[in-house]
Amino acid sequence: MPDYWIKITEREDEDIRHHHYLIEAKDEKEARKLALRFMERFIDDDENPEKIDDGYSFYNNAILVKLSDVKETTKEQFKDFLLKTHTINLA
Report pLDDT digits (tens) over 7-66. Answer: 999 999 999 999 999 999 999 999 999 999 999 999 988 989 999 999 999 999 999 999
What ranges in 8-57 are assigned the alpha helix state H? 28-40
Rounded Cα gap, residues 8 and 41, in angstroms: 13
**Residue 60: count of CB within 10 angstroms of its CB:** 8
Domain spans of the chain, in order of start: 3-85
